[in-house]
Each structure stands twice: as C-alpha cells, then as structure tokens.
Chain A
Amino acid sequence: MVSSCAVTRRRPLASLPLLLLLVPVLVIAQSPRATAPTGPPLIGVGSTGSPTVTLDGHEVRVPVNLGPGGPLFGLKAMTDALGGELVAGETGESYTLKLGGKDVVVGLGSAVVTVGDSIVSLSQPPTRGEGGLAVPLDFLAKTYGDLSGYSFDWRPGEQRLVIGRRSARELPVALDVVHLQGMTTVVLQFSDVPRYHLNQQPGRIEMQMLADRLAVPSPPRKVEDPLVKAVDIAPERVRIDLAPEAAVESYTLENPFRLVFDVHGQSTVVAPAGPAFPTPAPASGIHTIVIDPGHGGTETGAIGPGGIQEKGLTLLLAQALAGRLQQKLPVRVVLTRSEDVNVPHDTRAAIANQNKADLFISIHLNSSLGAGAHGAETYFLSAQATDTRAASSAKSENGENAESPERAEKTGSAPAEPSQDDLRLMLWDLAQTRHLSESQRLANLIQGELNETLQLKDRGVKQAPFRVLMGAAMPAVLVEVGFISNPEEEGKLQDAAYRADLVEALVRAVARYKAQAEAPENPSPPATGAAQPAPAAAPPAAPAKPPAAGARPPGGARQP
C-alpha cells in the first residue's frame, strides 16, 4: 500500500518535464521558419559535386545544373553529342531543335514544348544555365528518346546521366490498299505506335523508321493501282511510289495504330486535321490558311431553339469556305477538323503553327443569354489576355509562385494564383501577341464584308481572351457569323444559300487582306522576331481602330 501511494505521487512529477518540453516544441513548429517555402525551386549549378554524363560508356562534356526540380542538361552540348541541329529563335527566348525530321520548339521558362505537331508538357521549364539552354531529363526522353532511340538513366546517387541506345523494337506491319471513287487509300497497321518520320518527294512518300525496325510481311504484297505504283516495305522504311500528278494526304488512327495515306488523282485537296507534310518555306504573302470549325465531338457549342447545334454548322461553313478559298485564290487551306470530333483548343492553334499558316480563322455561331440578339461579330485576342499572362509569367520567374488551385484543393490550403500554368503557356501567348495588329486588320475586313453583304446588324470588331486564338503564331480571328440563339437567324443558317453568301463574304475579306499584304507598296518584311506591342488597350466592345502605326504587315512575321 505504501509503495502504491509513492508511485501515485511520483507520476505527475515524472511527467512534468516532458509536458513542459512539449510547449516550446509547439512554439517552434508554429514559427514562420517552419513554413515550407512555396516559391518555385531555384536552380543552382553543381551545388553538390560534379555531375557527369556518359554516352555508351564514355564521358561527354555536358553542363548539368542541379536543383530541387531535378537536373537540367545543356542542350547545345547534348546536341553536339547526340545529333540534331539547335537553332536559336530571333528573340533569344525560344529555340528550335531539328531532330529526326521534326521541329522541337522550346521556350525559355515554358514547360510546354512542341514536338512536330504534338504538344508535350515537361516536369519543369527549360532555363538558361551554364552553356546556354538547359532542359530537364524528360525533355531528352521525349525528343532524343522517342525520335532517336536513346535511353536516359539519371542516377542521383552517382550524379550521373547514363545515355545508351535502346534496342530497336521489331514491329509487325500489315498493308492494305483500297481504291474507291477515284481515290486510293493505303493503310499501314502496326502492332504498336512506331517512331517514324515521313519524307515526301515528287512521286514518292517514305516512312522512315527512327528507332524501330519493321518485321517485313512475307510474301510482299504486289500493288496494282492507278494511283499507287508500289509499296515497298523494308526493315528501316516503307516506301510508297505514286503515279504522276497524284497528291497524298496522311493521317493516323488509333487502336490499333494505323498510318493512312489518301492518294488523290488531283492536287487540290483539303487536308484533314493532323500533321501535314513539310512544305517549303513560302515567300512573303498569304499562302496557307487554316480554317477552324468551332467545337466538335462532345463539345456541341451553342444550341439553337430549334435544336440545331453549332458544331455541325461550323463544320459545314468551314468546309465550304476551304473549298471556295482554294477555288478563288492560290492558297493552301487546312482544316483543324474535318469531322465531328473533339479537338483541343491548343491543338487547333498548333495545327496552324505546324502548317506554317499565314492566317487562322476560327468559325463560330453565337448565342446570347438575352433574347433578340442578332448579327455577326468578329473577335481578335484581347491585349489584356496577353498582358495579364505575361505579368503572371514574370511573377513566376520572380519567385512569387504559389500553390496551384488543384493542389490547394487537395491539401486544403488556400489556392493561389496559377502562375505556373501561366508560365507553361507563355510561349503560346507570345505567339499571338506579335500579330495583334494584323489580326485586328483581318477582323475589320471580315466584319466589313459581313455587314455590307448580308446587311446584318453591325456588332463590331471585339476583343476577348479566347483560348483558341492565344497560341496562333499568325494573324488570327474568331468569326461569329450569326446568332443561333435567335430563331430567325437559326432558320437562315440552315439555308445553304445563306451560308454560301456568308462564305463568299469571308472569301472576299481574305482576298482583300491577301491583296493588301502582297501589294508592292506593302512588302512583307522578313521576320525579325521583334514583338509588336499589342494595340493599346482598345475598349473590347468598341469598333476597332485602324491598325496602329508601325504595325507589322502580314505574312512576314511568323513564330519561329
């Protein structure tokens, strides 16, 4: 009993030091120094030892910058070691890596790059480091890995990047050739997605394997076709020999992966969405126009009171416009979609950029929440959109970055300005910023033709932060040709003759723009890369002012 009481008395005394120790621990935990930094990681150079890079067992000199976001590697030195050509953009803010027949466009501070016509996100943005542009490991994997068959193994413990060559896959391929209604379709079906590059020459198109080899089907198939003379499959390539005057367009299908070539007997075809063959760089002027039928697939766009969906009418209008433009003008026209499919906004702009378009016209039908709205209006990108994002980007670069709202939602902390997203998209914003003056001029011409021809209510040229316009590296507008929410206009828009009038108005506007651009007194200057300032914050709803003095003539300024 005595001993029991003694234990009871000693317990609080024994616990007291422990409890008192807890208080300062909590105080320290509460202090601001305990708060994790939320800014972007700062990249240091070789802070812990000397990282090395080996290629096939031999050390190569490649600058490596180490930082919390992972290692970054000097791209110029990597190009010297692995091949490819690195070309600096005119502004010094972007670079083009020519590799495996594809242009890889990378911007300083942007975690989004384009590889051919594909948009690729990186784990961290490239930055300027020792030896010039420094890129993260996944950039190397998505370029040299996918296009050239290299493997990259970063070993943090050794601070060593081991570059090897992947063993080439041998992919079975099946060939099918079908001729129907004056067109031949050649289908190459693969067991897996191959890494390849297409080369087009007069009378021949060749699919060059980059890092894989083909299992040649046996026996080889003999082709007897009026437009396709032969299809020759070898382990390293597929060669399609065409009849004279045949024109070809290609596209891919998924599940299983198929590469499809539509071979026409005439040269004027409307290219579908997707990659186009490389075309020689044109002289100044308007040579290629990309028409974007708004919405598509599950994204219906506006729906009229009669149930007519915007996506269907925009496709009809775009296809008609493409046909008439090619009939009336010596231009090449590309559609961002030729069927009822979802196409992401950034992909639409990327298609225009990849095709080196001189104009981008997005066709839409309008709707209003209020009753009675009618008429046409034409938009170009608002300067505010680019200004805001540029400011956000600068903020990110200044280390004022914070948690994304998505992450904030997960963590329960307060969301912060999504400046990292802004940073990723800076490349696209800058693309349109330099063309705002010309976009405004094109918008004025289109709006004028629509008003005059159709006697529509002039709703004016307007500006808005429309996503589809942001990444277009050429004069770009979004045309709302009428209000599908208005029963009267919905009825008119279903009339083919009315749509034809709309199309003719658009063709005239483009023809006038092209004529002005190519007039001798208005030669297009070479692309200097000097970004033109956005039109001074014109009120978005007000009729647009004439182009600012010193505005860049069209056709000559193209994003590198």
Chain B
Amino acid sequence: MSRRAAGIVLGAALLLVAAGLAWWWAGGRLRRLGGSAGSGAGAAVPAGPQTTFAVDLYFPVETGLRPERRNLTGSDTPKDRIRKIVQALLAGPGAAGLVRPLPPGVEVGAVELTPEGVAYLDLRWAEHDDPPPGGSDAEMQAVYSLVDSIALNVPEARRVVLLWNGTQRVTFSGHLDTSRPLSPDRSLIAH
C-alpha cells in the first residue's frame, strides 16, 4: 500500500472514530436529560425556533390565586416553556391586586421534565437556606402558583417537584408536603 493510500485509510478510520465518539456523547447526554431520543414529552431536544405562546399565570391574591393571561416568547420545548413561565411568575404580575409568589431574588435553577410527566423545578435564592416563612395559605399560594401555572399550561407536565437551592425539602415552609410530586389544585383559583 502506498503512503498516500495508507493516509486515506487512516483518515477514514479517524473520522469513523470521531463520529462514534460524538454519537456516544450525544446519546448519553440525551439519556441524562430525560430519556432516549424520541421518548416523548420529557425527551430533551435542541432548542427550537422562537415562538410566542399564550399562558395563564396564576398569581396570589388575597385568597387563593387568580390567572393573568400572558404571551411569552421562547422555544417550543416543554422544558423551555416551564422555565419561561416560572421566570414570568417570579418577575411579578402586571395587574393590580395580584402579588408575586416569592420574594425578589428568587431565581430559576435547573428545570427537568421526565417522560412520566413530572417536572422538577429548582428554585435558587442566594444566601437564603430556607424558603420565606409563612402561614399555610401563604405557603399554598406560593407553591401552587408555580405548580398550577406549570401543570395547567404545559400539558407534558402533569405534576411538579419543587427543589429549593438544589434540595428537595420535606415541607416547603412548614406545612405542605413537598417530598413528592404535587398535582395542580384548581380549587385555589378564583376567576
């Protein structure tokens, strides 16, 4: 075999190896992010084109929650919709009488969505180990503002697990059991 032919063979082999490594890396990453490609709702797919979608954000009021219609812009993946929804909630309402569910400074950390329809939302609040203290109603308003806004706007997310600074807590702030996925509670919503 000539030197030129050997070079061509070696180049082809290296290309094959590189392609295999890329496939392996990408496949493993997809599995970590929510299941194998094409597994449905929770499968992580690359961010798609930016679209505008209408959502009802459920903000606390004097008693319970009240929806505020918003148009949000983002990619059309369920995970990105969840992130945009929570970011909009944390930014606060536009209408009078509605209040933000959590204090300024709370930010969205990781968002994950399993193929089973469980959304994991990590809330981050620098220099605060615990969520803000509150009574039962305040806690339910804060928690279900997030849970209802996610689960009632993103069909792929049926239940929500809240993490606080990366940790799943037994209760959010002393009442609600947050050690398990929470389903939306429509009874809190005042129309």
Contact A368 B62, beta carbon cutoff 8 Å: yes
Contact A415 B137, beta carbon cutoff 8 Å: no
Contact mask for chain B residues 22-33; partner A; CB cutoff 8 A; 1 contact, 0 none: 011001000111
Instruction: List the A side residues contacting B58 at CB < 8 Å.
Output: none
Contact B177 A16, beta carbon cutoff 8 Å: no
Taken together as a complex, chains A and B put the C-alpha atoms of A389 and B137 apart, in Å, by 22
A124 within 8 A of B: no
Contact mask for chain A residues 452-471; partner B; CB cutoff 8 A; 1 contact, 0 none: 00000001000011111010
Contact A365 B135, beta carbon cutoff 8 Å: yes
Contact B112 A414, beta carbon cutoff 8 Å: yes
Instruction: List the A side residues contacting B112 at CB < 8 Å.
Output: 408, 414-415
Instruction: List the B side residues contacting A459 at CB < 8 Å.
Output: 63
Contacting A at CB under 8 A, from B49-91, are 60-64
Instruction: List the B side residues contacting A465 at CB < 8 Å.
Output: 176-177, 182
Contact A303 B133, beta carbon cutoff 8 Å: yes
Closest Cβ of chain A: how far from B96's Cβ, in Å?
Answer: 12
Choose the segment among A149-157, A526-534, A539-547 that binds chain B (4+ C-beta atoms closer than 8 Å). A539-547
Instruction: List the B side residues contacting A520 at CB < 8 Å.
Output: none
Closest Cβ of chain B: how far from A386's Cβ, in Å?
Answer: 11
A2 within 8 A of B: no
Contact mask for chain B residues 162-191; partner A; CB cutoff 8 A; 1 contact, 0 none: 010011101100111101111101011000
Contact A302 B175, beta carbon cutoff 8 Å: no
A422 within 8 A of B: yes
Contact mask for chain A residues 286-305; partner B; CB cutoff 8 A; 1 contact, 0 none: 00000000110001111100
A332 within 8 A of B: no
Closest Cβ of chain A: how far from B189's Cβ, in Å?
Answer: 9
The interface residues of chain B, by DSSP majority, are classed as mixed
Closest Cβ of chain A: how far from B101's Cβ, in Å?
Answer: 7
A478 within 8 A of B: yes
Given A294-B174, A406-B167, also A9-B6 (CB < 8 A): yes
Contact B185 A540, beta carbon cutoff 8 Å: yes
Contact B176 A467, beta carbon cutoff 8 Å: yes
B14 within 8 A of A: yes
The one of A16, A412, A425, A467 in contact with B10, judged by C-beta atoms closer than 8 angstroms, is: A16
Closest Cβ of chain B: how far from A368's Cβ, in Å?
Answer: 5
Contact B114 A373, beta carbon cutoff 8 Å: no
Contact A480 B20, beta carbon cutoff 8 Å: no
Given A9-B6, A388-B180, A418-B179, also A367-B134 (CB < 8 A): yes
Closest Cβ of chain B: how far from A462's Cβ, in Å?
Answer: 8
Instruction: List the B side residues contacting A283 at CB < 8 Å.
Output: none
The one of A20, A29, A415, A468 in contact with B161, judged by C-beta atoms closer than 8 angstroms, is: A415
The one of A377, A417, A466, A541 in contact with B177, judged by C-beta atoms closer than 8 angstroms, is: A466
Contact A415 B120, beta carbon cutoff 8 Å: yes
Contact B133 A542, beta carbon cutoff 8 Å: no
A160 within 8 A of B: no
The one of A8, A30, A295, A409 in contact with B174, judged by C-beta atoms closer than 8 angstroms, is: A295
Taken together as a complex, chains A and B put the C-alpha atoms of A394 and B31 apart, in Å, by 25
Given A369-B101, A467-B175, A467-B176, also A364-B135 (CB < 8 A): yes
Contact A367 B114, beta carbon cutoff 8 Å: no
B141 within 8 A of A: yes
Instruction: List the A side residues contacting B101 at CB < 8 Å.
Output: 369
The one of B24, B99, B161, B176 in contact with A26, judged by C-beta atoms closer than 8 angstroms, is: B24
Given A370-B60, A372-B62, A464-B175, also A364-B120 (CB < 8 A): no
Contact B63 A416, beta carbon cutoff 8 Å: no
A484 within 8 A of B: yes
Instruction: List the B side residues contacting A405 at CB < 8 Å.
Output: 120, 161, 163, 168
The interface residues of chain A, by DSSP majority, are classed as mixed
The count of residues in chain B whose C-beta lies closer than 8 Å to any C-beta of chain A is 65
Contact B133 A12, beta carbon cutoff 8 Å: no
Taken together as a complex, chains A and B put the C-alpha atoms of A110 and B126 apart, in Å, by 36
A385 within 8 A of B: yes
Contacting B at CB under 8 A, from A387-418, are 388-389, 392, 402, 405-406, 408-409, 411-418
Instruction: List the A side residues contacting B177 at CB < 8 Å.
Output: 385, 465-467, 470
Taken together as a complex, chains A and B put the C-alpha atoms of A29 and B24 apart, in Å, by 8
Contact A22 B62, beta carbon cutoff 8 Å: no
Closest Cβ of chain B: how far from A431's Cβ, in Å?
Answer: 14
B17 within 8 A of A: yes
Closest Cβ of chain B: how far from A28's Cβ, in Å?
Answer: 11
Contact B62 A413, beta carbon cutoff 8 Å: no
Contact B33 A414, beta carbon cutoff 8 Å: yes
B150 within 8 A of A: no
Given A16-B13, A388-B180, A466-B177, also A417-B118 (CB < 8 A): yes
Closest Cβ of chain A: how far from B39's Cβ, in Å?
Answer: 11
Contact mask for chain A residues 276-318; partner B; CB cutoff 8 A; 1 contact, 0 none: 0000000000000000001100011111000000100000000
Taken together as a complex, chains A and B put the C-alpha atoms of A12 and B61 apart, in Å, by 73
In the complex formed, the residue of B with least CB distance to A465 is B177
Contacting B at CB under 8 A, from A57-115, are none
Closest Cβ of chain A: how far from B61's Cβ, in Å?
Answer: 5
7 further A-B pairs in the complex, CB-CB below 8 A; given A388-B181, A467-B170? A26-B20, A30-B24, A301-B133, A344-B170, A379-B136, A414-B34, A414-B42
Q: Footprint of A on B, CB under 8 Å?
A: 1, 3, 6-7, 9-10, 13-14, 16-17, 20-21, 23-24, 27, 31-36, 42, 60-64, 97, 99, 101, 110, 112, 114, 116, 118, 120, 133-138, 140-142, 159, 161, 163, 166-168, 170-171, 174-177, 179-183, 185, 187-188
Q: Footprint of B on A, CB under 8 Å?
A: 8-9, 12-13, 15-16, 19-20, 22-23, 26-27, 29-30, 32, 35, 294-295, 299-303, 310, 344-346, 364-373, 377, 379, 384-385, 388-389, 392, 402, 405-406, 408-409, 411-418, 421-422, 425, 459, 464-468, 470, 478, 480, 483-485, 539-542
A-B contact pairs, 15 of them (CB 8 A): A8-B3, A15-B13, A19-B13, A26-B20, A368-B137, A369-B142, A414-B32, A414-B34, A414-B114, A415-B114, A417-B116, A418-B168, A466-B177, A467-B171, A480-B136
